[in-house]
Chains A and B, each alone.
With several copies, the nearest count.
Chain A
């Protein structure tokens, strides 16, 4: 009989791509809240194994470890990443560090129209857009496991200077929403 982390490992391996955490919970017959623990145990058991668990809020995928990138490149030359332009990188940073997650927010912080960059990131599979549950007309963007894999990290908390930069961004966004709310009241 397999332990839940081992069963999760087999499922992730068999799926060959990102698996929604919801689906994983269903297949393992565990609660969604328990998925976190199972993935933590799997992550620990795969430590230094050459393969890692890459996670977003909603999906999880197995990938080769970043330390293996050189040797894997020898096997699969196509693994060379195409460079991202400055605008796309900036847009990716806004979304990664949580400075903004809608098109309007990205435009607000960059001071320019970001639709071309968003499209590039969407087509490359680095971000995905999901309907905001609170407002279905609004699309919120988030990083995919593909983006994390290109950044060589398994979770957004491993982003360079994650706490400092996303903390600062959040404070500014909060000030902005407070100002926007005040403006609305004033009207």
Chain B
């Protein structure tokens, strides 16, 4: 049963994750993360109004979650070093965020309650005192610096956003492929998508389908292709 969580005011993916974990009274570990993967993905899919950059954050986390989930479904699955690092990184970040969220709650209890006032302002005794570093050129330079700093800040976020597929797109794509071809290898399927994150998403979307009984997957060798074929079910269940 999916756990309902408020979806109105989430700042980021960790908040969603922690709420889901806490709602199930679990501790932050692999098991808990595997457990909440579906609800998390549902949550991401339900959001239509994320800014592009935040969506990228949410989906990147989804990919790592699906990785953990896949391991729980296929214990033999070997993570690459990079995948392992992603999983460990996510766990550390979640643990740190858990503390930060607690800290923020503590601060919200005290912030602004008993403001310690600054000394009252006195009319300053004005003495005209220019300085050696003051010149028209220095002013022009200072303003140029301020303007340049602003531009740098404004350009940063855009540069970090790379176009990513949505989970929904990946799943739809996968479902269609499975329907059209009775047998399809995962390598073949993932060939079309170069971005590693897309491969993970497609692979794990596939695992979801496996779990839902839509297709049966057999992995013949540990690092070999995963063969996908239709099961007895007549249609592919739509995820979500």
Q: Do chains A and B touch in the complex (CB under 8 A)?
A: yes
Please list the residues of chain A having a beta carbon within 8 angstroms of any beta carbon in chain B: 10, 13-17, 52, 54, 61-70, 72-73, 76, 79-87, 89-90, 92-94, 96-97, 99, 108-113, 115, 119, 122-126, 144, 146-154, 158-161, 165, 168-169, 172-173, 175-176, 179, 183, 186
Q: A89-B134, A89-B138, A111-B15 are in contact. List 17 more A-B contacts (CB 8 A).
A: A17-B120, A52-B116, A81-B111, A85-B133, A86-B104, A96-B107, A97-B143, A109-B100, A112-B13, A115-B157, A126-B130, A149-B117, A159-B136, A160-B140, A165-B143, A173-B96, A179-B88
Complexed CA–CA distance, A154 and B9 (Å): 33
Please list the residues of chain B having a beta carbon within 8 angstroms of any beta carbon in chain A: 9, 11-15, 53-54, 57, 61, 81, 85, 88-89, 92-93, 95-97, 99-104, 106-122, 124-140, 142-147, 149-150, 153, 156-157
| B134 touching A150, Cβ below 8 Å | yes
Max chain A CB contacts within 10 Å: which of B15, B96, B140? B96
The 3 A-B pairs of least Cβ separation, nearest first, read A16-B120, A81-B112, A112-B12
| A13 touching B92, Cβ below 8 Å | no
A165: which B residues are within 8 A, CB to CB?
99, 102-103, 106, 140, 143-144, 147
| A93 touching B146, Cβ below 8 Å | yes
Instruction: Select one of A15, A72, A147 contacting B130, CB under 8 A.
Output: A147
| B9 CB → nearest A CB, Å | 7
Q: A83-B132, A93-B107, A123-B125 are in contact. Are A176 and B139 (CB under 8 A)?
A: no
Q: A17-B122, A179-B88 are in contact. Are A64 and B117 (CB under 8 A)?
A: yes
| B130 touching A82, Cβ below 8 Å | no
| A62 CB → nearest B CB, Å | 6
Q: A15-B120, A151-B136, A165-B102 are in contact. Are A110 and B146 (CB under 8 A)?
A: yes
B131: which A residues are within 8 A, CB to CB?
81-84, 124
Complexed CA–CA distance, A126 and B133 (Å): 13
Complexed CA–CA distance, A93 and B129 (Å): 17
| B111 touching A151, Cβ below 8 Å | yes
| A161 touching B107, Cβ below 8 Å | no
| A169 touching B96, Cβ below 8 Å | yes
